[in-house]
Amino acid sequence: MTTPAVEVSGLVVERGGRTVLDGLDLEILRGRVTGLLGPSGCGKSTLIRAIAGVQVVRSGSVTVLGEPAGSAVNRRRVAYMTQASSVYPDLTVEQNLSYFARLSAVGRDRVEAVLSAVDLGAQRGSLTRELSGGQRARVSLAAALIAEPEVCLLDEPTVGLDPVLRRDLWRLFGGLAESGVTLLVSSHVMDEADRCDVVLLMREGRMIAQDSPAGLRAATGTADIESAFLALAEGGAA
Ligand SMILES: Nc1ncnc2c1ncn2[C@@H]1O[C@H](COP(=O)(O)OP(=O)(O)OP(=O)(O)O)[C@@H](O)[C@H]1O
């Protein structure tokens, strides 16, 4: 049996004097799409920051690919896409990706591969600041993918995208997982859960369930993840 890509144990994080992650235990399996779902403010971004190794933690441990979160050896192996755009507005799409390719010491072929993966080939010569919000999000995603990371931490990558683009991106995530990449994808849109192999359901800094979408529906006797979330939240499950 392979070890999980990410192991989190007893994680406690305080921000602004408040406990925002309250003793989380979880595992993220290799080569799967794991959805991190929960209402706005429940702590999804904070958990992703802790796994990326950029969050000060009060206690607990976070291990990524067998190393403590944020280890230098994992720098190329772990990609983190934040909610804020991480690309340069005054460069074209292609210039941005060429720049990130040089930083990661990968070849020109990776620029072409990620451009086509996020379907931005036609926009390659456009200035990033002149793109729509959804197109800009896809440039950030392409930049995150350029070094062929083993683990991708994606904080709300589909926010603000139209249904067709959202579906296409979830297909892309599924394809990456099939090729062995481990993805953690946060969303507050519950119907995105069905695109995931495993769902982590969070509420107010706690993990209320970790299961497949079908497992969650069966365990709660509900027809969709939104109802499953409500059943778990009202049942006070921890
Ligand atoms: N820089 C900060 N300083 C203090 N508190 C913060 C800071 N950033 C977030 N918080 C608080 O931490 C809690 C968790 O926030 P977090 O951004 O992790 O939630 P989230 O589930 O990702 O929300 P969203 O879906 O809206 O992005 C919230 O109560 C938020 O107010």
pTM of the model: 0.92
CA of 19 to the centre of ligand 1 (A): 11
Q: Which of 11, 12, 13, 15 to mutate to test the pocket of ligand 1 (most atoms within 8 A of CB)?
A: 15
pLDDT at residue number 9: 97
End-to-end CA distance of the chain: 27
**Which of 136, 154, 156 is CA-nearest to residue 93?**
136
Tell me what the mean pLDDT of segment 142-161 comes to. Answer: 91
Instruction: Characterize 89-122 residue by residue with b for buried, 16 or more Cβ atoms within 10 angstroms of its Cβ, and e for exposed.
Output: eebbbbbbbbbbbeebebeeebbebbbebbebee
Note the ipTM here.
0.95
CA of 104 to the centre of ligand 1 (A): 30
Any idea which residue has 């009060």 for tokens? Answer: 58
pLDDT digits (tens, 9 = 90+) for 185-207: 999 888 888 899 999 999 999 99
Ligand 1 site, residue 205, Cβ cutoff 6 A: no
Ligand 1 site, residue 16, Cβ cutoff 6 A: yes
Ligand 1 site, residue 201, Cβ cutoff 6 A: no
pLDDT at residue number 1: 57
CB-CB contact of 31 with 152 (8 Å): no
